[in-house]
């Protein structure tokens, strides 16, 4: 993902400031894989947010390079996983405990673009114990059953691996913390209470007698679903994770940022939350169902431009919020150039004025699109230190930590063992189309017995291999001789055909 953050056009941006600290990848000696569990969390309330608290203690200073614990890598295995020349595909060992649901996983390091693999992954079963008496009514001994959720996360780091590693160790704990208030509510089939008492024993206030008069447009109460509470919990967990990174970035190795693609399975539904340019699709009976969309300078152009327009101070006098189809030359002043502003999807001509010579906030196309000439993804976690090169202008205000969450109801369809949810970092999707993934799903799974639990790992490996290619003609090449992905590649294959039997 390193190529998604670049500052090569610094000389094009007028600025007189001294070179600021620039995000860089950690370049540290190898260390054993982090197989120890993260420290137990202690609640910690950030200011001005109720019903939520930071779930995890500060992450310990980690200068070490690590891979997901479920890979169970020995020191020798870790060295092989870190070898850019061999680019060996890594998967959990075929012996011992499988991942939940017999999930398949495979990864491979990049071809040399960054020192270490900056992708990280996490797969956990998380138990959520409810807070006592959320509803204000003392619980019966028989009550108080907690909730379990299944969790998968892919984190594609950039400008260092610290943010991705921190997110892989802590984001599910933030989700658990957000769900703690909801344990009773989600298990109660009646609609969620709109209002909860502040203290146990205080009367609830979800009855309609408190409503304002019927003449108000707010006279009715909105229906809020259980599902939307889970979505809100995941959204807020992303924000708390990002805030924790901001707090702890100085004392620890939380350099750079990361895209986050997360799946939560809870009470029959699959929640796919995406912030960045990783992607998820369901392949069901050969049909492709997109479960995410990418957040890039191109897909979020209008949001970015609007922010620059409403808060011009964020542009630092160096950038213009207008988009132009190419950089304007000073000698073109007074001529008329095509442009788009934040309200437009079409293009029109405008007379070039002095401030149009500033660098455009959003520029480039496809994989080369950038915000402030620097970063190629517009959502994710971290990046609190990211500045425009040769400037002290922060880029973080333009980045959003909020995911888009899509919900898939597993109970609405009878899934077979060949139906899978595939998660991949952009290393997969840059060179593999949805249809090619679906074809690989069909080809690999049909070669295994439906009840062979290793088939999903084999599929993940096939997808990673298919995106990496083989070394030939001074590069990693695909069978069609095109270049394979030189990026880190990570893939989860989550079978949908039998959560009940796997869980």
Rule CB under 8 A: say whether 487 interacts with a copy of itself.
no
Stretch that binds a copy of itself, among 157-165, 246-254, 330-338, 428-436 (CB under 8 A): 330-338
Site string for a copy of itself, 186-225 (x = CB under 8 A): ------x-xxxxx---x--x----xxx--xxxx-xxxxx-
Length of the chain: 503
Q: Single out the residue of 152, 110, 153, 122 nearest to residue 1, CA to CA.
A: 110
Smallest distance from a copy of itself to CB 73, Å: 37
Stretch that binds a copy of itself, among 68-76, 87-95, 343-351, 418-426 (CB under 8 A): 343-351
- Which residues have CB under 8 Å from 140's CB, separation 6+? none
Smallest distance from a copy of itself to CB 370, Å: 4
Distance linking the first and last C-alpha atoms of the chain: 34
Rounded Cα distance between 161 and 116, Å, is 8
Per CB under 8 A, which of residues 232..261 are in contact with a copy of itself? Answer: 232-236, 239
Q: Single out the residue of 174, 283, 267, 276 nearest to residue 227, CA to CA.
A: 267
Site string for a copy of itself, 291-310 (x = CB under 8 A): ---------------xx--x
Q: What one-character-per-residue DSSP string does 1-41 give?
A: -GGGB--TTGGGS---SPPPP--------------SPPPPP
Nearer to a copy of itself among residue 6 and residue 252 (C-beta): 6
Binding-site member from 77, 364, 471, 498 for a copy of itself (CB under 8 A): 364
Smallest distance from a copy of itself to CB 351, Å: 3
Smallest distance from a copy of itself to CB 202, Å: 7
Binding-site member from 15, 33, 178, 253 for a copy of itself (CB under 8 A): 178
Q: Single out the residue of 193, 209, 52 nearest to residue 135, CA to CA.
A: 193
Give me the phi and psi of 481, to 5 degrees please: 75, 0
Distance (Å) of CA 425 to CA 190, 243, 283: 39, 23, 17
Q: Single out the residue of 490, 494, 381 nearest to residue 121, CA to CA.
A: 490
Q: Single out the residue of 383, 372, 354 nearest to residue 308, CA to CA.
A: 372
Rule CB under 8 A: say whether 231 interacts with a copy of itself.
yes
Smallest distance from a copy of itself to CB 137, Å: 15
Rule CB under 8 A: say whether 46 interacts with a copy of itself.
no
Q: Single out the residue of 73, 81, 72, 69 nearest to residue 488, CA to CA.
A: 81
Per CB under 8 A, which of residues 378..407 are in contact with a copy of itself? Answer: 400, 402, 404-405
Rounded Cα distance between 266 and 269, Å, is 6
Binders of a copy of itself: how many residues, by CB under 8 A?
Answer: 83
Smallest distance from a copy of itself to CB 188, Å: 15
Binding-site member from 26, 92, 256, 360 for a copy of itself (CB under 8 A): 360
């Amino acid at each position: 993902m390193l190529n998604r953050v670049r500052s090569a056009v610094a000389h094009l941006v007028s600025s007189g400031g001294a070179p600021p600290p620039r995000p860089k990848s950690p370049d540290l000696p190898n260390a054993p894989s982090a197989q120890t569990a993260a420290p137990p969390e202690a609640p910690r309330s950030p200011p001005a947010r109720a019903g939520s608290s930071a779930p995890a203690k500060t992450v310990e200073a980690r200068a070490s390079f690590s891979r997901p614990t479920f890979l169970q890598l020995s020191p020798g295995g870790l060295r092989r996983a870190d070898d850019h020349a061999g680019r060996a595909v890594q998967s959990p060992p075929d012996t011992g405990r499988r991942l939940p649901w017999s999930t398949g996983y495979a990864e491979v390091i990049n071809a040399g673009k960054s020192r270490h693999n900056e992708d990280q992954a996490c797969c956990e079963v998380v138990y959520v114990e409810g807070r006592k008496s959320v509803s204000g009514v003392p619980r019966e001994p028989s009550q108080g059953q907690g909730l379990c959720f299944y969790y998968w996360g892919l984190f594609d780091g950039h400008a260092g691996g610290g943010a991705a590693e921190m997110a892989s160790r802590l984001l599910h704990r933030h989700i658990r913390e957000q769900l703690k208030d909801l344990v009773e509510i989600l298990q109660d089939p009646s609609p969620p209470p709109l209002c909860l008492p502040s203290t146990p024993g205080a009367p609830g206030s979800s009855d309609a007698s408190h409503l304002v008069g019927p003449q108000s447009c707010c006279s009715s109460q909105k229906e809020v679903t259980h599902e939307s509470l889970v979505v809100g919990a995941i959204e807020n967990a992303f924000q708390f994770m990002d805030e924790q990174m901001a707090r702890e970035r100085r004392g620890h190795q939380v350099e750079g940022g990361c895209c986050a693609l997360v799946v939560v399975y809870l009470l029959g539904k699959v929640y796919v939350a995406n912030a960045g340019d990783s992607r998820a699709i369901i392949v069901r009976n050969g049909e492709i169902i997109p479960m995410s969309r990418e957040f890039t300078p191109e897909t979020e152009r209008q949001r970015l431009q609007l922010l620059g327009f409403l808060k011009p101070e964020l542009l630092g006098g160096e950038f213009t919020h207008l988009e132009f189809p190419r950089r304007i030359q000073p000698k073109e002043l007074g001529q008329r150039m095509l442009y788009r502003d934040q309200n437009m999807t079409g293009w029109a001509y405008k007379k070039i004025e002095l401030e149009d010579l500033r660098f455009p906030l959003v520029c480039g196309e496809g994989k080369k699109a950038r915000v402030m000439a620097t970063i190629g993804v517009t959502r994710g976690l971290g990046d609190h230190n990211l500045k425009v090169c040769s400037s002290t202008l922060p880029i973080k205000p333009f980045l959003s930590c909020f995911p888009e969450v899509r919900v898939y109801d597993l109970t609405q369809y009878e899934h077979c063992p060949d139906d899978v949810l595939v998660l991949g970092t952009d290393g997969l999707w840059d060179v593999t189309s949805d249809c090619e993934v679906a074809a690989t799903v069909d080809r690999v799974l049909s070669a295994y017995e439906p009840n062979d639990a290793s088939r999903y790992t084999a599929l993940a490996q096939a997808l990673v291999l298919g995106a990496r290619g083989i070394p030939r003609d001074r590069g990693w090449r695909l069978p069609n001789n095109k270049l394979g992905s030189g990026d880190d590649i990570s893939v989860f294959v989550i079978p949908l055909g039998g959560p009940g039997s796997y869980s």
